[in-house]
Structures are given as structure tokens and as C-alpha cells.
Amino acid sequence: MTATTPLRVAMIGTGFMGAAHSQAFRVAPRFFDLPLFPEMTVIVGRNADKTRAAAEKLGWAEASTDWREVVARDDIDLVDICSPGDSHAEIAIAALEAGKHVLCEKPLANTVEEAKAMADAAREAASRGIRSMVGFSYRRVPALSYARDLVQSGRIGEVRQARAAYLQDWLVDENGPMTWRLDKKLAGSGSLGDIGAHAVDAVQFITGQTVEQVSGHLRTFVTERPLLGETVGLSGTASDERGQVTVDDAAWFTGQLSGGAVASFEATRYATGRKNGLKIEIFGSRGAVVFDLERLNELEFYDGTAPAGEQGFTRILVTEPEHPYAAAWWPTGHGLGYEHPFSHQLRDLVFDIAEGRQPRPSFDDGLQVQQVLDAVERSAAANGVFTPVA
């Protein structure tokens, strides 16, 4: 059954995440029977020409360079924030106060103070029926969701240890140009917030436990990079001028979880040869699960209660109709890709809006992750152990 009631969307941001979210808005209504139909009403960016080009390419009806005017419009129901982190708080709070539902990319904000203000605004808006969600999309990878199902149903027993490593290598070339992700004023932090936030949320999501204590170390390997020169098309060329890198390149930290388990986390964009490897291992008293984003249709499961002669990690191909989200897509064995969790995220958000539920992860969930990231930064600066501050 095709939904006829529109959910009119304004998306802020024309880059990588804007493209990923646009894919979801185009595809999700055609594979899931949604109670509301997302309409791609307007995309917002800073550069008029680039934003018009993005609207045409990605499927948006209009383009704008004024997010404040768009947020105030009566024909917008949902504001999707895919812009750099320094803009999240201002846009989200304005949208919530204007009565718009909000989807905001992770990490929720650049600071705990900003995240607190966003969470406060979200709770007030919820009292008026306005919903908000932070975009930790990997929760919606079917194999990772299935890992949570196994852990929460007791299949691995008491959770004792967790290991998470998010490894990329796109910054290995020290002469690669500066981007906004390397500027603390825009990004808040480097690998820690960009990909470490995903690792923290995934471990907490699978285990059902929260990080309560951390001890961290941060490192910046390359402190200067070429600035972009003249714009050529939609990209730029490197200039002879160099800019300061003001964020971490790699983060390592250990943690204690609320249920008593211990955890270790690693996030780096300098792991030569690793393109997008998020590996999560959860070890329990009766078994274990292992997930690797570079093999995102698979989950490894170890059943420690099986006879000794039968024990070993079993590879589960998470494409059966019984697996999370899989029934909407292809026949068994036909895998999904990086873009599909964004459709799953949108599917869940639309149902939550239509049925009056609080979406998860909420802005409060995003705030809690922000507090963990902040505690890691404080620990690294002081070479000590820190507790996330509420």
C-alpha cells in the first residue's frame, strides 16, 4: 500500500552524507510500506551553484542557500541535518522550536554543552509531538542489528568484554588537502568524533550497556596540510599555502561498561590499507559475536554451549527474511550495501513519527555518546581516567 500523506523534507548539506541520505529518501518509500511519503522538497547549501547542481543530481525539487528561511516554511515537516558539526546545534534547535521533526547526523554536536542544549530542545519538542533522531546509521546494518538480537536474547551469556576498532586510511597521504573534518572549529574532533562515535554507539547498542569510565590517548600525525586553491567544478585544487590540522588523527581508549564489562576502542584514519573497517567483537560467558563492516552481510557467532567437537565460529549470512530489515529487499543470499542502513534509518523514523513514538537513538542518546567523547579528550589531555559528565 502506498502512503499518500506527505512528509515534506528539507535537507541541510550537499556533501557525502547529503548524498547518502538522498538515496534513502528516494529508495525507502519504494521498498517499505511507509505510513507517510517522504517528499524531497528542498536541499540547502552555502554555494548557490553547487546546491542547484546537487538538487538536480540527487532528486530535490528546490535548492536554497538560506536554512533559516527554509526552517521557517510552513511546507516543511522534517529537517535533515547533514552539515558540519559546528552548525548542528543552531539548526536543530531552530527547527525543533519551529515545530519540525529533526534527523541529525552524528556526532550530535561539537561539544557537550551544544549537545545538552539540543537534547533539552528535543525533550521540550517531544511534549508537543515533535520527534528527533541522531543518525547512527550502523545500528541499522542487518548483521549488526542481528548481533544485538543474539546478545540481548542471552545467546552469548553475560557480556564480559568488547573490542571495537574503526580503521580507515584516507588521510595517509600527508600532502592530501585540508578539509573541514581536520578543523576542530568545524568538526569538533577528528577520528574520535568522526568514526570513534560510531564505535562507541555500536558497542553500547549491541551490549545494552553504556560506557561509564574511560582512559584515552589521542595522536595527530600530520599537523599541516595544503589548503584548497581555486574551485574547479565542484572540487578544488591544492595551493602552496598550508593550514593547521587541529584535530586528532587517531584515538585509542579503554572503558568500563555499566553492566561490568570492559571495552577497548580504536579509531584512526591512518590505518594504511583499511578503507572502512569497523570491527566489533563481543565476548560473553557462553559465546561471542564478531561483526566487520567490510563484510557487512555477515556475522560470526560462537556458541560456547555446543559440544567441544563442534565448537568454532559460525559464519551467518544475514540475508534471510527473518533477519532485521532483510525481508524488504532481495532474495536470500543477495547482499546489501553501505547505503541500505540509511533507508532502514528513514523507515524507522517515519514509523516513529507517524505512530507518535520517540525514535532511537534519541538526542539524549547522542548526548551520552558526546559525553564519552569528551571524557576521552579530557583523559588524553591529563593522562588520566575520566568519567563522562552528565
- Whether 363 is covered by a domain: the verdict is no
Residues 306 and 320 in one domain: yes
- The C-alpha atoms of residue 269 and residue 166 are separated, in whole angstroms, by 8
- Whether 33 is covered by a domain: the verdict is yes
Residues 176 and 192 in one domain: yes
Q: Closest Cα to residue 93, out of 76, 72, 118, 124?
A: 118
Q: Per-residue pLDDT for the chain (390 aa), expressed as one digit of tens each?
A: 467 899 999 999 999 999 999 999 999 999 999 999 999 999 999 999 999 999 999 999 999 999 999 999 999 999 999 999 999 999 999 999 999 999 999 999 999 999 999 999 999 999 999 999 999 999 999 999 999 999 999 999 999 999 999 999 999 999 999 999 999 999 999 999 999 999 999 999 999 999 999 999 999 999 999 998 644 333 455 567 899 999 999 999 999 999 999 999 999 999 999 999 999 999 999 999 999 999 999 999 999 999 999 999 999 999 999 999 999 999 999 999 999 999 999 999 999 999 999 999 999 999 999 999 999 999 999 987 778 877
Helix, strand, or coil (residue 28): helix
pLDDT of residue 234: 38
- Which conformational region is residue 172 in: left (phi greater than 0), alpha (psi within -120 to 50 degrees), or beta? alpha
Domain boundary among 103, 137, 171: 137
Q: Closest Cα to residue 95, out of 5, 9, 224, 190?
A: 9
pLDDT of residue 239: 66
Half-sphere exposure of 25 (CA within 13 A, CB side): 27
Residues 41 and 92 in one domain: yes
Residues 161 and 117 in one domain: no
Domain boundary among 137, 163, 191: 137
- How many domains is the chain partitioned into structurally? 2
Domain boundary among 99, 116, 137: 137
pTM: 0.94
- The C-alpha atoms of residue 29 and residue 3 are separated, in whole angstroms, by 8
- Whether 112 is covered by a domain: the verdict is yes
Question: In terms of residue numbers, what domain contains 61?
Answer: 6-137
What ranges in the chain are assigned the alpha helix state H? 16-31, 48-58, 67-71, 88-97, 112-126, 142-152, 184-187, 191, 197-207, 340-355, 363-382
pLDDT of residue 231: 41
